[in-house]
Amino acid sequence: MQNQLTIAMPDDWHLHLRNGEVLTKVLPYTSRHFQRAIVMPNLQPPVITTQDAKNYQAEICAATPAEHKFTPLMVLYLTEGTSAADVKQGFLAGDVAAVKLYPAGATTNSDAGVKDLEKIYPVLAVMEEIGMPFLVHGEVVDSNVDIFDREAVFIDQKLIPIRRQFPNLKIVFEHLTTKDGVDYVRSCDSHTAATITTHHLVINRNAMLVGGIQPHYYCLPVAKRELHRLALREAATSGDHRFFLGTDSAPHLAQFKESACGCAGIFNVANSMAILAQVFEQERQLDNLEKFASINGPEFYNLAVNSGTMVLSRSDTALALPADVKTAAGNIKIFDPQMPVHWQVSAINY
């Protein structure tokens, strides 16, 4: 049995860091294991302009522990009023890395998102021209579409028409949760890629619904049935360059998840690399972990692979779940994968 693995330092291509005290508490969990992260812009108020992104980036950099080497890659929150000129200028200046589509009402803080996709076509045309990635929360919001079908319906009703209109636009289908999504991405050329979260490789919808309602397994898009989890595991561990890690680590105070109307999001970044090593070992694909966590993402974003390395080690005894994160306003629970995890990050060499 393999007991050690060295990979190029990973990046996280889909991360929620929040701001204020929560940012300072959660950021070190990311910056110690990831050298870069695509930082989601769904703050309140959202990160809409390049100037907003620069301000948020400065706040993140000020909160990064001095001993960590971490670069936040900034994302603009697309609205129907987004200025194509600002997007272009921000990207060409290196201040923003991507633009994120939140269909209005799809998830946490998405009210300012897009209702009519055609209104954002001028921005997409500019992004296609300059090679700027378009990150998509791929769920429809129609109340008559079952929540478990919203990703598959989005592909047919929204994504295929966008792709037809903009054949060279770089699209990242974020936090893929279905076999339909995997099949769609596989059917595309290399202008389309997808992030896959840690938790969707581990849980199916039973984790959320069996034995009482389990709010700490509720996230959006919701975990689906087992056949979808298996398709995601196959895609993530296959080494296919179109699939890469986006933890979608999304911290919420426990009291807001353990509520009559609990909010969506799983905080998984503290133990993501350990859990991923366990998953790749289970699939007998440990050699592909580096592609998923460290190589395929930068390749899609046209960035160099990190020069630093991470060493992961396996021990015979399973490791304890890290302790909850404490903030003045309440605790944030760490994702419990409900399986023994024998791997841990044992060294980082920048």
Which residues here bind ligand NCD, judged by CB under 6 A? 16, 42, 107-108, 137, 219-220, 248, 250, 264-265
Our finding on whether 180 is near Zn ion (CB under 5 A) is: no
Write the interaction track for Zn ion spanning residues 254-293; mark x where CB under 5 A is met and - where it is not.
----------------------------------------
Angle at 10 between CA 7 and CA 11, to 5 degrees: 165
Asked if 77 and 113 count as a contact pair (C-beta separation under 8 A), the reply is yes
Which tokens is 18 given? 């929040």
Nearer residue to ligand NCD within complex by CB, 28 or 46: 46
Asked if 103 and 137 count as a contact pair (C-beta separation under 8 A), the reply is yes
Strand-by-strand arrangement of the 243-245 sheet: 12-15, 36-39, 71-77, 98-101, 134-136, 171-173, 192-196, 243-245
| Neighbouring C-beta atoms of residue 3, cutoff 10 Å | 11
Nearer residue to Zn ion within complex by CB, 108 or 344: 108
Nearer residue to Zn ion within complex by CB, 10 or 265: 265
Stretch that binds Zn ion, among 26-34, 115-123, 200-208, 241-249 (CB under 5 A): 241-249
Nearer residue to ligand NCD within complex by CB, 15 or 312: 15
| Neighbouring C-beta atoms of residue 270, cutoff 10 Å | 24
CB of 311 to ligand NCD, least distance (A): 30
Nearer residue to ligand NCD within complex by CB, 16 or 228: 16
Known catalytic residues are 248
CB of 264 to ligand NCD, least distance (A): 3
Site for Zn ion in 60-89 (CB under 5 A): none
CB of 42 to ligand NCD, least distance (A): 5
What CA–CA distance (Å, rounded) separates 212 from 335?
17
What CA–CA distance (Å, rounded) separates 75 from 51?
11
Stretch that binds Zn ion, among 124-132, 159-167, 193-201, 242-250 (CB under 5 A): 242-250
Q: Which of 293, 298, 282, 286 is nearest to 339 (CA)?
A: 282
CB of 16 to Zn ion, least distance (A): 6
One of 11, 86, 240, 248 touching Zn ion (CB under 5 A)? 248
Asked if 4 and 311 count as a contact pair (C-beta separation under 8 A), the reply is yes
What CA–CA distance (Å, rounded) separates 119 from 77?
15
CB of 342 to ligand NCD, least distance (A): 27
Rule CB under 5 A: which residues touch Zn ion? 248
